[in-house]
Each structure stands twice: as structure tokens, then as C-alpha cells.
């Protein structure tokens, strides 16, 4: 049975740990694993802009012995003239995996339903699971463990990052807290799924509009842009609505003294995070950006070799 990575809970807690372990091994020895030797090609389809995802998947596919095939929005028949199902039927005949950044999560799900090769969600409106593998790997590197830690996401609780934080942290046995205005709640389904999984892994879930409550004993403080791709027309309203939810030095000081700061990037200094925080000593954002490469290589290795 082909395995896909459409969202964070497409892998079990044991598999998440296995992928992060492999990512750490691959970081130390980047060219030892060649599941794409041939070279086999991987389609990297982008309906939204990208720096990190495009570069990390391109380099990662090459590191694994394969050939990255980038298809930008508007360059293929997908969407305009050809259905998702027919696109999957064509791509699967020629590539070993399909990596897709797009808008609707249901489109990723549809591609996966029709593909006999792994489909990887490289960001949808609802989830950004590849980023979470890199973020969890970075937290492991800096804190030495995941289960039992407390992670506070402060900002746009309705973002793909917040939904993925809820679910992926619950899988890792982390106490995950989302501080967000009442009108920017995570997906109900993601909140419920995370709560159910946390009950099995020993983690916990809290969604609150009280920033101070989320930060108590936090080992990790995270945020994301207030204006995700596709929301540019809402910028003025969103900047006003998120007042008080920007990660300042005062806000970070309410977490543990040795808390680390994460942001998936791109960042907007002066909005969701102050320059003093993202460019300060507690920030590990560049480690996380690099870890996209290692985590996704481990993910592709896992999906390509899973029976
Ligand atoms: N964090 C992230 O996905 O960055 P890009 O949009 O540059 O790929
Ligand atoms: N929430 C952001 C993440 C960017 C990597 C967006 O979707 O634009």
C-alpha cells in the first residue's frame, strides 16, 4: 500500500520518531542513502511561491540520487485543462513521488486518492506537515527530547502552521498551546484530532486567547506570519486583529529562560515577531530552515521504502 504524507497524522508516533531519527543520521552523513538512484524523478509542483521548500526538496531529491522536476503554477495542464485525477495517472507513470504546494487540502487528498506513488503535502491552506518535521527535529536537537516539552504557538491560530503544530506536537507527546484571538481558531477537526492523539501519547492541548496562559513554562515559542499566502487583501484587518500577539522580547521572557524561538519563515519583523527576537540568541530559525532538507530527505526515504 502506497503511503502518502497529506497531513501530520498520516504517520504514527513511532514513525514520526523514526523519521526524525533518520533525519538526524542523514544530517551527519548526507549522501549515504540513495533510494532515488536511477536517477528516479520526483515532481515538485508549486501553486504558491516558495524559497525553502523549493530548494530543500530540490537538493534533497538530488542528495537521494534522484532528479527534481519543478513544475510552477501555470506551467502544466493541472487545474486549467486537466483534472487532479488525470494528472496523478500521468505523473505516477514517470515519477517516484509527487510533492505539491497548493491551496485546498481537499485537492492534495484527491491527488493522493488517485496516485500509486507517494503524494507529499508541501503546504496547503490547512496544513504544513513538512515544516513540522523540521521544527520537531530542531527542537530535538536543542532540547534533547520531544515528549513532555511545552510548546507555545502565539499568533494566527487559523493558519496551516497552527493546525500542523496542534497535530504534530500531539503525536510527539508534547504539551501544545495555541494563543490566538477568538476569531482566528484552528480547524475544529485538527483541534479534536490533536486532543484525541494527545490522550494516547501523554501530550496535551490548549487553545486560548490569553497569551500569558500559553507561555507558562514554555520550552519553545513559535509564531507564523499573520498574512498567509492568498490572504494579502486582508493585511490591514489582520495586522489590527493580531495586536498584542506579536512575539516581543517581553513576551518571550514570559517563557522559560532557556526557551527557543521558531518561525517557519518568511518572517515580517515588527509584525508577528520583533527583530530582537528573531535575530536574538534564543532564535533557532536558521537551524529549522536547514532541517527542512534533512527532515524531508528522511520523509521521502520512509515513504519510498515503506511497504
Ligand atoms: N517555510 C516555508 O515553507 O518557506 P517557503 O515558503 O520559502 O517554502
Ligand atoms: N502560513 C504561511 C506559511 C508560509 C511558509 C503561509 O501559508 O503563507
53 lines ligand 1 (CB under 6 A): yes
Q: What is the 122 CA–ligand 1 centroid distance (Å)?
A: 9
pLDDT tens digits, 77-91: 998 899 999 999 999
272: which DSSP letter?
T
Mean pLDDT, the chain, whole residue set: 98
- The residue among 132, 65, 134, 61 whose CA lies nearest residue 98 is 61
- pLDDT at position 307 is 65
Counting ligands in written order, the one closest to the CA of 227 is 2
pLDDT tens digits, 87-136: 999 999 999 999 999 999 999 999 999 999 999 999 999 999 999 999 99
Residue 73 — pLDDT band, cuts 50, 70, 90? Answer: confident
> How far is 296 from 280, CA to CA, in rounded Å?
27
225 lines ligand 2 (CB under 6 A): yes
How much is the pTM? 0.98
- pLDDT at position 80 is 80
- pLDDT at position 134 is 99
Report the nearest-CA residue for atom 4 of ligand 1: 52
Q: Are 9 and 193 in contact (CB under 8 A)?
A: yes
Provide long-range contacts, Cβ within 8 A and 24+ apart, for 88-91: 88/114, 88/115, 88/119, 89/114, 91/43, 91/115, 91/117
- The residue among 297, 226, 222, 249 whose CA lies nearest residue 55 is 297
- pLDDT at position 172 is 99
pLDDT at 182 over 70: yes
- 292 in active site: yes
**What is the pairing mode between strands 175-179 and 150-154?**
parallel
160 lines ligand 2 (CB under 6 A): yes
User: Considering Cα of 135, then 126, then 44, then 8, what sign does the dihedral take?
Assistant: positive
- pLDDT at position 74 is 86
- pLDDT at position 265 is 98
Could you tell me the three cell numbers for 214? 500559553
- 264 in active site: yes
Amino acid at each position: 500500500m502506497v503511503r502518502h504524507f497529506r497531513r501530520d497524522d498520516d504517520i504514527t508516533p513511532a514513525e514520526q520518531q523514526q523519521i526524525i531519527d533518520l533525519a538526524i543520521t542523514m544530517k551527519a552523513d548526507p549522501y549515504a542513502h540513495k533510494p532515488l538512484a536511477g536517477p528516479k524523478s520526483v515532481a515538485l509542483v508549486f501553486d504558491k511561491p516558495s524559497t525553502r521548500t523549493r530548494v530543500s526538496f530540490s537538493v534533497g531529491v538530488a542528495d537521494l540520487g534522484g532528479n527534481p522536476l519543478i513544475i510552477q503554477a501555470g506551467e502544466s495542464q493541472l487545474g486549467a485543462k486537466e483534472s487532479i485525477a488525470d494528472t496523478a495517472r500521468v505523473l505516477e507513470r514517470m515519477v517516484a513521488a509527487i510533492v505539491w504546494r497548493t491551496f485546498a487540502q481537499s485537492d492534495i487528498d484527491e491527488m493522493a486518492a488517485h496516485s500509486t506513488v507517494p503524494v507529499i503535502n508541501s503546504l496547503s491552506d490547512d496544513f504544513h506537515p513538512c515544516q513540522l518535521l523540521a521544527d520537531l527535529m530542531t527542537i530535538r536537537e536543542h532540547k534533547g527530547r520531544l515528549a513532555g516539552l511545552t510548546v507555545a504557538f502565539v499568533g494566527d491560530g487559523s493558519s496551516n502552521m497552527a493546525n500542523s503544530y496542534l497535530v504534530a506536537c500531539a503525536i510527539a507527546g508534547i504539551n501544545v498551546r495555541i494563543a490566538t484571538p477568538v476569531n482566528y481558531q484552528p480547524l475544529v477537526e485538527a483541534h479534536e484530532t490533536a486532543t484525541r492523539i494527545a490522550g494516547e501519547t501523554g501530550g496535551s492541548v490548549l487553545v486560548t486567547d490569553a497569551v500569558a496562559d500559553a507561555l507558562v513554562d514554555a520550552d519553545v515559542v513559535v509564531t507564523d506570519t499573520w498574512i498567509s499566502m492568498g490572504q494579502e487583501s486582508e493585511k490591514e484587518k489582520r495586522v489590527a486583529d493580531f495586536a498584542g500577539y506579536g512575539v516581543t522580547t517581553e513576551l518571550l521572557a514570559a517563557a522559560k529562560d532557556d526557551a527557543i524561538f521558531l518561525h517557519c519563515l518568511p518572517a515580517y519583523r515588527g509584525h508577528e515577531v520583533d527583530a530582537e527576537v528573531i535575530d536574538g540568541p534564543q532564535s533557532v530559525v536558521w537551524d529549522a530552515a536547514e532541517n527542512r532538507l534533512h527532515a524531508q530527505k528522511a520523509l521521502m526515504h520512509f515513504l519510498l521504502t515503506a511497504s
